[in-house]
């Protein structure tokens, strides 16, 4: 019976409304109804009607495990994979717009994404394994708001705007404001992430990304990202330094950015960046590492990410 239900969830079923409530004890998730929706308005109607009883299904790579462990027991699962308005990648001269249903593998492989936001193409291969990246979506990762996840941290580093929509209102939320706490985003139960907008990467910019995990493909134990905009004389005009897996959300290190802005990079400046990161963070130990390891490693990774970003700009600025 579970196979049948899974086929409805992940296959191309014609059925649009399936009750899984009759399934037997061998099924791991609690009983739920399934609605395969192709229309945004219908999704909003369902979310408004069911409130916290409903869950949106995108790639299912986080939701389904949570349901299988019965940590989440929605009475209704609304599959949004057929909603065409949530798809699409569009690049203008200044902005990359990614639909919520953009799969991780698209971030990893699309040349237009690599050109407009190369940091996304660089972090995507670190998300789980190929099977997960084939199903997992940008909107799902951002809504899930895991502080160890790559895409939320990348959105903060890239100054992305998260496009949020409900039945009666559309909101634009800066990525830094969107992630509130562990697995908590600025998203009401009747709202969807419909996409993101990211400033197109400029020729005077460089990025760095460093991550430590127990095995390649595991969630990060600690990570750091840096984005630098550099002037013609090599001075840092603007910087973003963000650490991941060191707190309840991606953490932007403003004090490290203050060290960088208006300066040319040198070993001394990089040392100051590491010190600023170590001072700013107050990580909590988890199953993967102690608080002290996380702080020290984040400082080292941030220094290396900034150096990497700086090296990327060398030769591009004259």
Ligand X SMILES: Cc1cc2nc3c(=O)[nH]c(=O)nc-3n(C[C@H](O)[C@H](O)[C@H](O)COP(=O)(O)OP(=O)(O)OC[C@H]3O[C@@H](n4cnc5c(N)ncnc54)[C@H](O)[C@@H]3O)c2cc1C
Residue 280 has a CB neighbour count (10 Å cut-off) of: 21
User: Shortest distance, CB of residue 208 to ligand X, whole angstroms?
Assistant: 18
**Residue closer to ligand X (CB basis): 62 or 313:** 62
Specify the DSSP element, H or E, that contains 77: strand 76-79
Tell me: does residue 105 bind ligand X (CB under 6 A).
Answer: no
Q: Which stretch binds ligand X (CB under 6 A): 58-66, 230-238, 279-287, 304-312?
A: 58-66
- Rounded to the nearest 10 degrees, the angle between the axes of helix 267-280 and helix 291-313 is 140
Residues 184-203 that bind ligand X (CB under 6 A): 187, 192-193
> Quick one: tokens of 239?
């910087």
**Residue closer to ligand X (CB basis): 147 or 206:** 147
Which one of residues 219, 229, 230, 270 is an interface residue with ligand X (CB under 6 A)?
219
Tell me: does residue 167 bind ligand X (CB under 6 A).
Answer: no
Residue pair 99/198 in contact by the 8 Å Cβ criterion? no
**Residue closer to ligand X (CB basis): 163 or 259:** 163
First-to-final CA distance of the chain: 64
**Residue closer to ligand X (CB basis): 56 or 273:** 56
Give me the sign of the Cα torsion angle 101, 104, 108, 109: negative
Residue 248 neighbours by CB under 8 Å, 6+ apart: 147, 181, 182
Tell me: does residue 60 bind ligand X (CB under 6 A).
Answer: yes
Report the distance separating Cα 41 and Cα 39, nearest Å: 6
Task: Specify the DSSP class assigned to residue 93.
Answer: S
**Residue closer to ligand X (CB basis): 128 or 283:** 128
Report the distance separating Cα 33 and Cα 49, nearest Å: 14
Residue 181 neighbours by CB under 8 Å, 6+ apart: 145, 248, 249
Tell me: does residue 207 bind ligand X (CB under 6 A).
Answer: no
Report the distance separating Cα 118 and Cα 39, nearest Å: 32
Tell me: does residue 206 bind ligand X (CB under 6 A).
Answer: no
Tell me: does residue 136 bind ligand X (CB under 6 A).
Answer: yes
User: Shortest distance, CB of residue 176 to ligand X, whole angstroms?
Assistant: 18
Tell me: does residue 162 bind ligand X (CB under 6 A).
Answer: no
Tell me: does residue 312 bind ligand X (CB under 6 A).
Answer: no
Task: Tell how many helices (H) and how many strands (E) occur in the chain.
Answer: 13, 15
**Residue closer to ligand X (CB basis): 230 or 305:** 305
Tell me: does residue 59 bind ligand X (CB under 6 A).
Answer: yes
Which one of residues 35, 110, 144, 249 is an interface residue with ligand X (CB under 6 A)?
144
Tell me: does residue 295 bind ligand X (CB under 6 A).
Answer: no
Binding site for ligand X (CB under 6 A): 55-63, 65, 100, 127-128, 132, 135-137, 139-141, 143-144, 149-151, 187, 192-193, 219
């Amino acid at each position: 019976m579970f196979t049948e239900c899974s086929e409805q969830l992940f296959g191309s079923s014609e059925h649009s409304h399936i009750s899984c409530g009759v399934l037997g004890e061998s099924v791991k998730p609690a009983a739920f109804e399934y609605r395969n929706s192709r229309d945004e308005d219908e999704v909003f109607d369902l979310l408004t009607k069911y409130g916290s009883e409903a869950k949106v299904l995108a790639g299912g790579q986080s939701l389904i495990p949570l349901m299988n462990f019965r940590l989440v027991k929605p009475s209704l699962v609304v599959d949004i994979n057929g909603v065409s308005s949530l798809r699409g990648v569009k690049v203008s001269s200044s902005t990359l717009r990614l639909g919520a249903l953009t799969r991780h593998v698209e971030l990893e492989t699309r040349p237009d994404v690599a050109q407009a936001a190369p940091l996304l193409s660089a972090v995507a291969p670190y998300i789980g394994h190929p099977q997960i990246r084939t199903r997992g979506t940008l909107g799902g990762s951002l809504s899930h708001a895991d502080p160890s996840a790559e895409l939320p941290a990348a959105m903060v580093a890239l100054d992305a705007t998260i496009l949020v929509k409900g039945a009666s209102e559309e909101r634009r939320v800066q990525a830094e404001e969107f992630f509130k706490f562990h697995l908590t985003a600025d998203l009401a139960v009747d709202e969807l992430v419909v996409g993101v907008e990211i400033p197109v990467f400029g020729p005077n910019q460089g990025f760095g990304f460093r991550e430590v995990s127990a095995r390649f493909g595991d969630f990060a134990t600690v990570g750091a990202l840096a984005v630098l905009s550099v002037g013609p004389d090599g001075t840092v005009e603007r910087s973003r330094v963000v650490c991941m897996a060191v707190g309840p959300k991606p953490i932007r290190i403003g004090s490290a950015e203050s060290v960088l802005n208006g300066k040319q990079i040198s070993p001394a400046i990089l040392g100051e960046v590491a010190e600023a990161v170590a001072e700013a963070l107050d990580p909590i130990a988890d199953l993967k590492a102690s608080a002290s390891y996380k702080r020290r490693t984040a400082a080292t990774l941030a220094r290396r990410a900034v150096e990497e970003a700086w090296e990327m700009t060398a030769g591009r600025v004259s």
